């Protein structure tokens, strides 16, 4: 929606950006990060606060919508509903004082030329402030906060998966061999409260540091909100960001030193870095030029030698057959909803069909990159059967054989080895360690 510049100048940057994020998702199926990237709001604290507000709405969207239902005579336009949900999120989850939660939403609607709904917002949110606990009583939050098509698709696992929705994901890193994990600033203490910019080094030096949690699979975990670029050793290339579950496909490959490994759909490069740091000869293939540039920048920062090829993996073929192929295939990314709760509301069932067709073509391409007996590790950060076990079953009818993982190979994450010998995590797992992204991994041998 076009806005008068005078209205923009009087804006509330945090709530304006959060509103843009939510309307982008629910009106245009635009991913959260896309709106963040396009926004003219650059102050770090405003962006962080907007992200937190929008993510809170997305984590509780279904239950908050249900809470509002008896207070509305009819369903309001999407932008108005987004504003109301921002108010409810502030009242019920973010501990915003009621007068501020109500008045900022009313002002937002007026700025966005939704003035006819300002009175409605004022009345509804005042009732939520008074009666929120009663309105919320008896709601099945986990069931309501997962889109029905996903709840149905996840079957008996749905409630366990949904348990991971309400906690913001921590920051996980992988370290180069021999590097000790750095200490971190307390989350939220790395920016000036006045400007939202990074604090001066001298100020940061006076703050206490916290040690990471060392996970059983070798990852180092920091509290949610920790800024990776402020960890000692980042600029020196001592580590990279990678969720503990995302590290498992390479760990399950075993000893890779000296092997020729092709990493398909390689950007942003976490698994590429794992392979190279363990001594593999890596060819990283990525189709998108922007993502390839990012991958190269990461490898340069990490001082890792990798052969980078910008090409479509479906048509590109290596000069010589590889020892192993790692295919972290494009997918629905439903397993990442702890970090990206927008995926729950942007993705649709019809998206899965086109993705599975692409996954099959990539699996067939990998077949041509390996000699008979060669190994492919297939991975997706998806919770959908269609993108995981169903793709493996289909591949086994086209020249592949499943080579099951053992619990010993999975080590501390042996709980994720399935009856068929695949590896599968979901966001409700490992709560004692702080949770995981959802990943599916299978090892296939070319027949």
- Residue 270 known to bind ligand: yes
- Residue 267 known to bind ligand: yes
252 vs 404: CA distance, rounded Å: 11
Report yes or no: 14 and 53 within 8 Å, Cβ to Cβ: yes
**Beta pairing class for 281-286 and 260-264:** parallel
Supply the pLDDT for residue 188: 58
In a domain, 93, yes or no: yes
Asked if 423 and 294 sit in the same domain, the reply is yes
Report yes or no: 329 and 358 within 8 Å, Cβ to Cβ: yes
Q: From the candidates 308, 381, 396, 422, which is the catalytic residue?
A: 381
- Residue 269 known to bind ligand: yes
Asked if 113 and 258 sit in the same domain, the reply is no
pLDDT in tens, 369-421: 999 999 999 999 999 999 999 999 999 999 999 999 999 999 999 999 999 99
- Residue 268 known to bind ligand: yes
218 vs 175: CA distance, rounded Å: 8
- Residue 181 known to bind ligand: no
In order, the DSSP letters of 334-351 are GGGTTT-TTHHHH--HHH
Between the CA of residue 396 and those of 330, 363, 383, what are the distances in Å? Answer: 20, 11, 20
pLDDT in tens, 176-222: 999 999 999 886 544 433 333 444 443 456 667 889 999 999 999 99
Beta-carbon contacts of residue 186 (< 8 Å; ≥ 6 apart): 207, 208, 210, 223
In a domain, 201, yes or no: no
Task: Give mean pLDDT in consecutive 10-residue pieces for the chain, a chain of 447 residues.
Answer: 41 94 97 94 91 98 98 96 98 97 98 97 98 96 98 97 94 97 76 37 63 96 93 97 98 98 97 98 98 98 98 97 98 97 97 97 98 98 98 98 98 96 97 94 98
- Residue 328 known to bind ligand: yes
Asked if 126 and 257 sit in the same domain, the reply is no
Name the DSSP letter for residue 108: H
Domain region containing 41 = 5-145
CATH code (residue 33): 1.10.940.10
In a domain, 178, yes or no: no
Torsion from C-alpha of 422, 376, 273, 48, nearest 10 degrees: -50
In a domain, 183, yes or no: no
Supply the pLDDT for residue 424: 98
Supply the pLDDT for residue 7: 37
378 vs 327: CA distance, rounded Å: 5
Of 114, 145, 176, which residue is a domain's last? Answer: 145
In a domain, 11, yes or no: yes
In a domain, 159, yes or no: no
In a domain, 191, yes or no: no
- Residue 271 known to bind ligand: yes
Six-digit token string for 358 = 């692409």
CATH code (residue 298): 3.40.50.150
Of 130, 145, 160, which residue is a domain's last? Answer: 145
Supply the pLDDT for residue 8: 37
Beta-carbon contacts of residue 325 (< 8 Å; ≥ 6 apart): 261, 262, 264, 366, 369, 370, 374, 375, 376, 377
Domain count, the chain: 2
Where does residue 438 rank: exposed (0-12), middle (13-18), buried (19+ CB within 10 A)? buried
Q: Is 331 noted as a catalytic residue in this protein?
A: no
Asked if 400 and 252 sit in the same domain, the reply is yes
In a domain, 223, yes or no: no
- Residue 312 known to bind ligand: yes
Asked if 115 and 263 sit in the same domain, the reply is no
169 vs 164: CA distance, rounded Å: 9
22 vs 50: CA distance, rounded Å: 10
Asked if 253 and 140 sit in the same domain, the reply is no
Asked if 307 and 438 sit in the same domain, the reply is yes
Residue 216: how many CB atoms within 10 A of its CB? 11
Of 145, 179, 210, which residue is a domain's last? Answer: 145
């Amino acid at each position: 929606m076009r806005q008068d510049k005078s209205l923009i100048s009087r804006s509330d940057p945090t709530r304006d950006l959060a509103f843009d994020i939510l309307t982008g998702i629910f009106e245009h199926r635009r991913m959260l990060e896309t709106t963040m990237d396009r926004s003219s709001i650059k102050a770090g604290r405003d962006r962080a606060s907007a992200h937190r507000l929008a993510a809170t709405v997305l984590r509780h969207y279904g239950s908050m919508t249900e809470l509002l239902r008896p207070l509305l005579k009819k369903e309001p336009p999407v932008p108005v509903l987004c504003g109301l949900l921002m108010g409810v999120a502030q009242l019920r989850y973010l501990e915003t004082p009621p007068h501020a939660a109500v008045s900022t939403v009313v002002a937002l609607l007026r700025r966005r030329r939704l003035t006819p709904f300002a009175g409605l917002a004022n009345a509804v949110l005042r009732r939520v402030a008074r009666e929120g606990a009663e309105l919320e009583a008896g709601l099945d939050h986990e069931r309501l906060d997962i889109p029905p098509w996903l709840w149905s698709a996840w079957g008996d696992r749905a409630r366990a998966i949904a348990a991971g929705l309400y906690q913001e994901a921590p920051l996980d890193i992988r370290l180069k061999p021999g590097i000790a994990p750095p200490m971190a600033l307390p989350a939220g203490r790395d920016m000036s409260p006045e400007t939202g910019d990074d604090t001066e080094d001298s100020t940061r030096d006076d703050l206490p540091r916290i040690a990471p949690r060392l996970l059983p699979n070798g990852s180092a975990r920091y509290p949610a909100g920790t800024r990776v670029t402020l960890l000692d050793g980042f600029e020196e290339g001592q580590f990279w960001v990678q969720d503990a579950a995302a590290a498992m496909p390479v760990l399950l490959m075993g000893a890779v030193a000296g092997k020729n490994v092709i990493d398909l759909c390689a950007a942003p490069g976490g698994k590429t870095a794992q392979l190279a740091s363990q001594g593999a000869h890596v060819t990283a293939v990525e189709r998108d030029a922007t993502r390839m540039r990012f991958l190269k920048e990461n490898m340069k920062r990490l001082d890792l030698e990798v052969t980078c090829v910008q090409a479509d993996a479906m048509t590109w073929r290596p000069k010589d057959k590889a020892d192993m192929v790692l295919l972290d295939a494009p997918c629905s990314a439903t397993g990442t909803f702890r970090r990206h709760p927008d995926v729950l509301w942007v993705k649709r069932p019809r998206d899965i069909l086109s993705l599975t067709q692409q996954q099959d073509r990539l699996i067939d391409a990998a077949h041509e990159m390996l000699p008979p007996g060669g190994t492919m590790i297939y991975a997706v950060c998806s919770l959908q059967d269609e993108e995981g076990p169903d793709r493996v079953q289909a591949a086994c009818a086209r020249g592949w054989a499943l080579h099951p993982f053992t619990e010993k190979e999975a080590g501390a994450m042996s709980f994720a080895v399935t009856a068929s010998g695949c590896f599968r995590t979901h966001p409700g797992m490992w709560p004692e360690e702080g949770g995981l992204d959802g990943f599916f991994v299978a090892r296939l041998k070319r027949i």
